Structure 1
Amino acid sequence: MVGEVEPLKALQEGHSRAAIIQRIINEYPLVELDESRLFYRIRKAPKVPTEEAEYDTPPTEFLGTGRLDSTDLPVMYGSQDLEVCVHECRVTAEDEIYVASLAPTRTLKLLDLSYVLPEEHVTEFDSLDMAVHMLFLAGKHSYPISREIAKAAHVAGYDGLIYSSYFSLLRTGSMPFEAAYGISYRRFPQMREYEQAKSIPNFALFGRPIAGQKVTVRCINKLVLSHVNYGFHFGPVGV
C-alpha cells in the first residue's frame, strides 16, 4: 500500500489545517478528570522544592518550546505514569529531582487525543485517527500544528488535553505501526484495545492550574533514582 494520510497532509498545509483541527475537536471524546485522579509533575532542581508554585506551569519566558504550549497559551504537563514523567524530563543520575502529586479541585474537561478513534469504511489514507496518532509520534517539526490544536481546544472550552506521550512505545516496548495484510491494526475493531494499551497518556492543562486553584498539590517528594534498565536491539547503519 502506497500513499499519504490525507488528514495529516492537510494539517501541514496552512489553508486546510483549520478544517482538520475542527474535525479533531468534534470527533475526539471528552474525558472528565475528577478529584480522585492523581497525577504527577516532576521538576529538576527547583529553587524552593517545598514551594507549591514551583510545580505550576513555567513562567512566560520559558513557554513556546514544548509540544503544546505557546506564549499565548501556557500549559502544565503531567502524567499518571511516573516513569514517563522521569523520561520526559530528561533527568540524569546527578540531578536533584522532585515530584509533586497533584489532583484536580473540581472536575476538569479534557479532550482525549490518545483515544483510538473508531472509524468505519475508512482506509489509513483517509483516517483522522492515523493522522493524530502519527502527529504525536513526530518530533519538534510537528509542534506548530499540535499547538494550534491546543489553542482550538482551549477556545472550545476544554480545560486541557490528554495526548499520547512521545515515549509511549519505549515505555511499553511495543512495535509501531503494526499491520496485518497491509492494514493497520488500528483499523480492526477487535484490535482497538490492544492498540490503546500501547499509549501512555499525558495531561496538558491550560493556564496555570495551581495558581488558578483548578489543581491542588497533595504532596511533594524528592525522587531518588535507584535503578535504570534499557532494552535494545541492533539495526542497520544508514547509507
Structure 2
Amino acid sequence: MNLKEKLCSECFTDQGLKLLAERIGIENPENCINCSNSNGIKLNIEQIETLAYRFFVVGSIFKPDYGASPIIQFNEHKKTNIKLSKSLQKDIKLFEKELGVGFFHYGPRLWMLGEIEPLKDLQDKKTRKSIFKRIIKEFPTVLLKENELFYRIRINPENPGAENEYDSSPYPGKGRLDSENHQVLYGSQDLEVCIHECRVTVEDEIYVATLTPKKTLKLLDLTELIDEECTEFESLDLSIQMLFLASKHSYEISKELSLYVKDKGFDGIIYPSFFSLVRSGKIPFPTVYGISTRRIPQYKEFEKTCTIWNLALFGSPIKDKTIGVKNINKLVLNRIIYDYQFGPAEIN
C-alpha cells in the first residue's frame, strides 16, 4: 500500500463519513495501515483534508434569511472545541491525528449572514427605491437578439400543441417577479434549470417550448458581477446575489423591483436562478481569509460559472408577438440522479 494512503472509508464510525469517503478516495486492495481492512476505499492526506472540508465545513452550512455560512471550520492553529455525536467525536480524532488540525465553531464576518447595507435598505420600504435606482444605474443593460434561443417548461397543459400555452401565466402573482396585473414569462437557456424550477415529477406530462425573440429586447442583467470600490458590507453586488438566492420571504422586494424595471422601459430581467448553486455544485458565498471571492479579480470567471441565469420577460410576449415559438416538444424524464452532501446532524 502507498504510504501516503493513511486511512480508508472503513476507519470511520459515522455512516455519512464512510459514504463520503467512498466517493472521494481510491480503490486499493491492500490492507489499510490504520484499521487493517482491505475492503475500504483508501484516502491519502489530500483526500482526508477534502473529506474533512466537505463533511464538517460544507456540511455545516447555515442559511439564515439572507446569505450563508459554515458553522464549523478547522485549522492547525486551534484545538477542537466542538461537541458532536459520540461516533463523530471518535472520527474527529482520526482527522486531528492525520492532519494536525482542530475543529471549532466558526464566527463568520456578518456580511455573510446578510448584514449588508444595500440589502438592509431593500428590506425597508422607505429606502427600497433608492437601491432600485442604483440597480438600474450600476447593472448593465444587455440585448436579447433575434434567433437567440431559450426554453420554457409547462406541466400538464390542456393543449400542449398550442403556442399560447407557453406564454406568461394569465393568473400572475405566485412567482418571484410577477404580481397582480403584472405578467411575466419565465424561461432559461439552461434546460435542466427549467425542469427543476418547475418542480416536475415523474407523474407529470412535461412539455418544453423553444422560444426566440422576434425583435431585439432590452434587458437588465442582474447576473453580472459588477466592480465596486467598497467592502462587502456596502456591496450592491452581494446584495443582489443574496436577494435572488433567498426564498419566498424575498419575493415582496423582487416583485417591486420587477415593476420598477418595467417602468424604466425594459422588456425584462436576466436574474440569478435560485437553483444556481445546486446546478453548478458550488458552495454559497465562498471566501478567502474572510474576503468574498466575488471581490478578488482572479476569481471573477470562477464566480460567473456559479450563477445560472433565468429570463423574466414582461407582459405576454408570445401574444404580443415579441417572442416566437420555434417548436414544442414533449419531454420525458429517463432517470433522476442526486448528487448529495453529508454533514453533522447535531452541533452543540
TM-score range, shorter chain: over 0.9
Measured after TM superposition, the shift of residue 111 of structure 1 is 0.2
Superposed counterparts of 1:161-200, under 5 Å: 161-200=269-308
Give yes or no for the alignment of 1:148 onto 2:256: yes
| Partner Cα separation in structure 2 for residue 25 and residue 67 of structure 1 | 18
> What is the aligned partner in structure 2 of residue 46 from structure 1?
157
Q: Residue 238 of structure 1: CA displacement?
A: 5.4
Conserved in 2, the CA contact under 8 Å of 1:67 and 1:147? yes
Aligned to 2:133: 22
- Residue number among 212, 230, 252 corresponding to 1:103 in the alignment: 212
Letter in 1 for 2:297: P
* Alpha-carbon distance between aligned partners in 2 of 1:176 and 1:186, rounded to the nearest angstrom: 11
Residue 217 of structure 1: how far off its partner (Å): 0.1
Aligned equivalent of 1:58, options 169, 175, 185: 169
The runs of 4+ residues in structure 1 deviating greater than 6 Å are none
Q: Map 1:200-211 to 2 at 5 A.
A: 200-211=308-319
List alignment gaps of at least 5 residues for structure 1: none
The match for 1:129 is: 237
Amino acid of the residue matched to residue 193 of structure 1? E
1:70 match: 179
Cα displacement string for residues 99-122 of structure 1 (whole angstroms, at most 9, x for unaligned residues) = 0000000000000001111112x1
Deviation of 1:127 (Å): 0.3
1:75 and 1:204 in contact (8 A); partners too: yes
CA RMSD for the aligned pairs? 1.0
Distance 1:193 1:214 in 2: 32
CA distance in 1, matches of 2:124, 2:175: 21
2:221 corresponding residue in structure 1: 112
Contact preservation (8 Å) 1:25, 1:152: no
The 1:18–1:92 alpha-carbon spacing in structure 2 relative to 1, beyond 3 Å, is: same
Change (3 A) 1:238 1:67: farther
* Aligned-residue offset at 1:236: 2.9
CA distance in 1, matches of 2:297, 2:261: 27
Distance in 2, Cα, partners of 1:70 & 1:80: 23
Distance in structure 1 (CA, Å) of the matches to 2:125 and 2:257:
13
- Report the alpha carbon displacement of residue 71 of structure 1 after superposing the two structures with TM: 1.2
Letter in 2 for 1:103: T
Cross-structure match for 2:192: 83
Cα gap change, 1:54 to 1:2, in 2 (>3 Å): closer
**What is the CA distance between 1:185 and its match in structure 2?**
0.3
Listed one character per residue, the Cα deviations across residues 170-204 of structure 1 (whole Å, up to 9, x for unaligned) are 11101111000100000112211110111110000
The worse-fitting range, judged by mean Cα deviation, of 214-223 and 71-80 is 71-80
In structure 2, relative to structure 1, the CA distance for the partners of 1:107 and 1:126 (3 Å cut) is: same
TM-score normalised by length of structure 2 = 0.67
Contact 1:118–1:189 under 8 Å retained in 2: no
Task: Considering Cα pairs closer than 8 Å and 6+ residues apart, tell me whether 1 or 2 has the greater RCO.
Answer: 1
Which amino acid in structure 1 is aligned with residue 134 of structure 2? R
Q: Residue 142 of structure 2: SS of its match in structure 1?
A: strand
AA matched with 1:160: G
Query: C-alpha distance in 1, partners of 2:344/2:311?
Result: 35
Q: TM-score, normalising length from structure 1?
A: 0.96
- Percent identity of the aligned residues? 55
CA–CA distance in 1 between the matches of 2:224 and 2:128?
A: 21
Question: In 1, distance between residues paired with 2:239 and 2:181?
Answer: 25
